[in-house]
Structure 1
Amino acid sequence: MALLRRLAERDRPTLAFTLDGQPASGLLGDTLLTAVLTAEDSLRGSDFSGEPRAGFCLMGACQDCWVKLGDGRRVRACSTPLEADMCVNREPGRRL
């Protein structure tokens, strides 16, 4: 179940992307954080406990929203624009 629900601006063009190997979609102008959280219930797992995380500061300062792209780069989901055909992999975090 999605953590966020889109209430406005639903008429923007749809962009398809891959999330953890599964098809997903967001809207043109979305950040990766918005696109992921309108499709899923969490962004990634905590580095300390594996518990679900969803970002914190939403402005690229807190280090809580890192995801890995298909080309191996780690980026902040809150400040990276969604692009068509991106491959995004959430990091599960560590289980203690």
Structure 2
Amino acid sequence: MKARRIYHHPILGFIGDRKPVTFTFDNQLIEAYEGETIAASLLAHGIRTLRFHEESGEPKGIYCNMGHCFECRVRVNGQEGIRSCLTLVEEGLVVHSGQALPLPLRKGEREG
């Protein structure tokens, strides 16, 4: 699939001036450019679901794209909860979508 990205921007310049890099997202090879965020690279490849809601399991994706809302959390190189809209791509990153976590214990409930 051809990436859906802006290659020439009147203010940001020509994307072709940046070094191409590759990383994986859920075991799929993603082509990106140095200086892009994980979220922008995934969006350019048509990937919208980045994690699943902890209680409902509903798909979640990019919302604010400026690091405020935490909707775009993914696992990067084994570290959970990384905001993809703030994290720049690097060659060889291993990124996985955030999976639905078990419900937290409610007040008064105990494990066991």
What TM-score comes out, normalization by structure 2 length? 0.69
- Cα deviation for residue 53 of structure 1 reads 1.9
Alpha-carbon distance between aligned partners in 2 of 1:33 and 1:82, rounded to the nearest angstrom:
9
Give 1:24's aligned residue: 30
Alpha-carbon distance between aligned partners in 2 of 1:50 and 1:37, rounded to the nearest angstrom:
21
Q: Show structure 1 runs of 5+ residues with no match.
A: none
Q: Show structure 2 runs of 5+ residues with no match.
A: 9-14, 102-112
For the aligned residue pairs, the C-alpha RMSD in angstroms reads: 2.7
Three-state SS of the structure 2 residue aligned to 1:29 is: coil
Alpha-carbon distance between aligned partners in 1 of 2:39 and 2:28, rounded to the nearest angstrom:
16
Q: How does 1:1-96 map to 2 (within 5 A)?
A: 5-9=4-8, 10-11=15-16, 12-39=18-45, 40-93=47-100
Equivalenced residues, count: 95
Percent identical residues = 30
Three-state SS of the structure 2 residue aligned to 1:56 is: coil
Alpha-carbon distance between aligned partners in 2 of 1:37 and 1:49, rounded to the nearest angstrom:
23
- 4+ residue runs over 3 A deviation: none
**Which is higher, the Rg of structure 1 or of structure 2?**
2
RCO higher in 1 or 2 (8 Å CA, sep ≥ 6)? 1
Q: Does the aligned pair in 2 maintain the 1:37–1:54 contact within 8 Å?
A: no
